[in-house]
Amino acid sequence: MLVSLMSIAKGRASVGEIEQVVQFYWLILGSLAVWRISYLFASESGPWNLLGRIRQGLARGVGSELATCLYCLSVWIATPFAFLLGESWKQRLLLWPALSAGAIIVERWVNWETPPPLYYEDREEQDQENQYVLRQEPKSTSIQP
């Protein structure tokens, strides 16, 4: 891919190389569009709280999980994008999960958090455990003359 971009920049690219770069460009744009629309439907209220009311209506029915799950929405929203971006049925069938996966990757990247620590030690618990230890440090005593 990098070689293709370099040859395009130098003006020595073939038609096939340019076509591959353009297809990759549409894959990236399609994934971003699927993520944005999925995020809009799953998490935002929209103008005049329209999407919030639609989600509340679906929550009473069967579609409650579909209306709030970005991963589920991305599968269904990727369908028309795959149909529009694909040139053959084979490409459309392969683009459908690829666009959904791209949207999921964007969602995970946007909401990336550091994982919780694997080991955590509470200092207060440690002090409470040490009160039952048989050997303790000697307490200093003042010597009186």
Q: Which tokens belong to 128? A: 């409470």
pLDDT digits (tens, 9 = 90+) for 56-83: 887 777 666 777 788 989 999 999 999 9
In total, how many domains does the chain have? Answer: 1
Asked whether residue 118 is assigned to any structural domain, the reply reads no
pLDDT per position as a tens digit, 78-99: 999 999 999 999 999 999 999 9
pLDDT score at 122:
65
DSSP result, the chain: -HHHHHHHHHT---HHHHHHHHHHHHHHHHHHHHHHHHHHHHH---GGGHHHHHHHHHHTSTTHHHHH-HHHHHHHHHHHHHHHH-SSHHHHHHHHHHHHHHHHHHHHHHT--PPPPS----HHHHHHHHTT-SS-PPPP-----
Q: What is the pLDDT of residue 12?
A: 66
Instruction: Examine residue 125 and state whether it is found in any structural domain, yes or no.
Output: no
Average pLDDT over residues 27-32: 94
Query: Is residue 130 a part of any domain in this protein?
Result: no
Task: Return the higher-pLDDT residue of 131 and 71.
Answer: 71
- Kindly tell me if the per-residue pLDDT of 136 is higher than 80: no
pLDDT at residue 138 tops 70: no
Residue 20, domain extent: 2-112
Please check whether residue 6 lies inside any domain of the structure.
yes
Give 139's pLDDT tier (boundaries 50, 70, 90): low
Q: What is the reported pLDDT for 131?
A: 63
The pLDDT assigned to 7 comes to 59
